[in-house]
């Protein structure tokens, strides 16, 4: 008996996911709990295992297509069975004898799933009502085409008339690939043929120039992760009144300790591991920095779940070290490396990418100095650490040269006043300048 496996909510408030790669082709056997497909959510690429054993009769979407939670992801049954669409399997074997004539049931579009916003914000698409053909007076052909909201938005961005596009998806649904194909030139150049699968180019001529000449614009649909980043940043900047305070710390002792620990234990100690160890005592002394605004209340979190910003080829991700205050330096270093590698490979789970109560961003890893980091929505503060550079300082009345590390602390001014921000920064600096203060804890 054929069974439908529908896309589950595999993350916090997931409403849809993009099919990245089918791991088991149609017509092939799959075992229970065997990964059958890779999908991309707002932040992660995850494998979804099959709950059933049998033959993959039908994929619920093509690679690159976005499907909603609750939609059919894959149909699995016996090799002898033939799948004919979205109807339940039991409806495909009609009993013998006369069948009462009944009007067909109304087709219901999948409804958005009620979600709780993740700690770093959430990606939302504008809701669209898809009318059935001939339902509304004055409806245009594009209004009656079957297409997901994200595909409709892509069509609008590329100037494609959905009414003229032949859908290749289930029941004639227009997919992302259909829109990209419709937006491509009829006879693309060899260069365009190589990139059409991932980039849609729309030439916009400058005044006095032909479309083929220099100065043309290129339109690239943003990836799901980039759209998520954009939504998160916009929400944080719009709703959180930011204040950023700057300083520098003499990192002489910090760098010496880092080098000594690495040599003793024959391992690399990420700078984030030491910075987090220095920050946790400051969060304990000033718990407002480890809080979340909830209506008219401030929730002070008992656990210090520290997010670390990771620069990946696909964009910025924040991986979360749970209960950082309970970890030693070597354990912290190992966790930072594990999360960093997992973020770059897009293999972390949603629980490892959400839920931070404070964030550390090591912009020094890419040569950065001071900056104005944006506070992740649902938190109160973020500390950015720049690359240490040798500068002239005055020590005990004498000129000296020391590696000064830039610090930039952004915080929510609704929660933290400027004086409190400086006191927090002063304690962090004290710990970083003398690591024994936090290593002894």
Percent of the chain with pLDDT over 70: 76
Q: Which long-range contacts (CB under 8 A, 24 or more apart) does 269-274 make?
A: 269/329, 269/333, 270/333, 270/336, 270/337, 270/340, 270/362, 271/362, 271/364, 271/365, 271/385, 272/308, 272/336, 272/360, 272/362, 272/385, 273/329, 273/332, 273/333, 273/335, 273/336, 274/329, 274/432, 274/435
Positions annotated as catalytic residues are 413
Instruction: Give the model's pLDDT for residue 117.
Output: 34
pLDDT of 119 above 70 = no
Asked if residues 337 and 350 have their Cβ atoms less than 8 Å apart, the reply is no
DSSP 69: T
Does the domain formed by 3-84 have CATH 3.30.450.40? Answer: no
Which residues, including other chains, have CB under 8 Å from residue 390's CB and lie 6 or more apart?
401, 402, 403, 404
| Domain 241-439, architecture per CATH | 2-Layer Sandwich (3.30)
Q: Is the pLDDT of residue 152 over 60?
A: yes
Where exactly are the structural domains of the chain? 3-84, 141-224, 241-439
Predicted confidence band at 143 (pLDDT cuts at 50, 70, 90)? low
pLDDT the model gives residue 153 = 65
d(C-alpha 236, C-alpha 253), whole Å? 35
Please state the rounded mean pLDDT for residues 305-318.
Answer: 92
Average pLDDT over residues 389-406: 92
pLDDT band at 93 (very low <50, low <70, confident <90, very high): very low
Q: Which of 100-109, 150-159, 164-173, 289-298 has the lowest mean pLDDT?
A: 100-109
Asked whether the beta carbons of 377 and 120 are under 8 A apart, the reply is: yes
Q: Do domains 3-84 and 141-224 have the same CATH topology?
A: no
Q: Read off the pLDDT of residues 324-378 as tens digits, 9 standing for 90 and up.
A: 999 999 999 999 999 999 999 888 888 899 999 999 999 988 888 999 999 999 9
pLDDT in the model for residue 87:
40
Mean residue pLDDT across the chain: 79
Task: Note the pLDDT of residue 159.
Answer: 79
CATH of the domain spanning 141-224, picked from 3.40.50.2300, 3.40.50.620, 4.10.320.10, 1.10.645.10: 4.10.320.10
The yes-or-no verdict on residue 427 having pLDDT over 90 is: yes
CA distance 139 to 266: 69
**Among 219-233, 280-294, 316-330, which is the least confidently predicted range?**
219-233
pLDDT at 137 over 70: no
| Model confidence at 51: pLDDT above 60 | yes
Q: Identify which has the larger pLDDT, 1 or 61.
A: 61
404 touches 262 (CB < 8 A):
no
Q: Is the pLDDT of residue 64 over 90?
A: no
Tell which wins on pLDDT, 13 or 415: 415
């Amino acid at each position: 008996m054929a069974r439908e496996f529908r896309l589950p909510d595999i993350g916090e408030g997931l409403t849809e996911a993009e099919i990245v790669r089918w791991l088991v082709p149609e017509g092939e056997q799959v075992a229970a709990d065997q990964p059958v497909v890779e999908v991309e959510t707002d932040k992660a690429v995850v494998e979804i295992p099959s709950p059933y054993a049998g033959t993959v009769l039908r994929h619920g979407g093509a690679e690159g297509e976005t499907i909603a939670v609750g939609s059919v992801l894959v149909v699995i049954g016996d090799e002898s069975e033939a799948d004919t669409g979205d109807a339940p399997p039991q409806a495909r074997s009609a009993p013998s004898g006369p069948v009462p004539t009944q009007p067909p049931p109304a087709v219901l579009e999948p409804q958005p799933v009620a979600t709780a916003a993740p700690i770093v914000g959430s990606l939302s698409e504008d809701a669209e009502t898809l009318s059935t053909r001939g339902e509304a007076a004055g409806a245009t052909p594009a209004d009656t085409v079957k297409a997901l909201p994200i595909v409709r938005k892509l069509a609008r961005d590329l100037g494609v008339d959905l009414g003229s596009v032949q859908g290749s998806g289930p029941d004639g649904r227009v997919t992302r690939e259909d829109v990209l194909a419709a937006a491509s030139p009829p006879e693309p150049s060899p260069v365009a043929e190589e990139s059409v699968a991932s980039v849609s180019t729309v030439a916009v001529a400058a005044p006095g120039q032909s479309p083929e000449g220099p100065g043309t614009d290129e339109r690239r649909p943003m990836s799901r992760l980039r759209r998520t980043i954009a939504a998160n940043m916009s929400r944080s900047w719009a709703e959180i009144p930011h204040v950023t305070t700057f300083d520098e710390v003499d990192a002489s002792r910090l760098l010496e300790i880092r080098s000594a620990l690495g040599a003793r234990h024959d391992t690399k100690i990420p700078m984030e591991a030491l910075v987090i160890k220095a920050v946790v005592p400051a969060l304990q002394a000033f718990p407002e920095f480890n809080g979340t605004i909830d209506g008219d209340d401030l929730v002070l979190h008992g656990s210090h779940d520290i997010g670390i910003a990771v620069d990946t080829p696909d964009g910025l991700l924040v991986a979360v070290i749970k209960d950082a205050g309970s970890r030693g330096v070597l354990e912290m270093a190992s966790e930072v490396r594990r999360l960093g590698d997992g973020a770059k490979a897009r293999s972390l789970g949603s629980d490892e990418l959400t839920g931070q109560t404070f964030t550390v961003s090591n912009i020094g890893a890419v040569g950065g100095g001071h900056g104005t980091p944006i506070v992740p929505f649902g938190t109160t503060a973020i500390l950015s650490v720049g690359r240490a550079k040798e500068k002239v300082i005055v020590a005990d009345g004498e000129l000296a040269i020391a590696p000064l590390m830039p610090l930039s602390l952004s915080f929510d001014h609704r929660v933290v006043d400027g004086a409190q921000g400086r006191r927090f920064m002063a304690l962090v600096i004290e710990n970083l300048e003398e690591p024994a203060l936090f290593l002894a804890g």
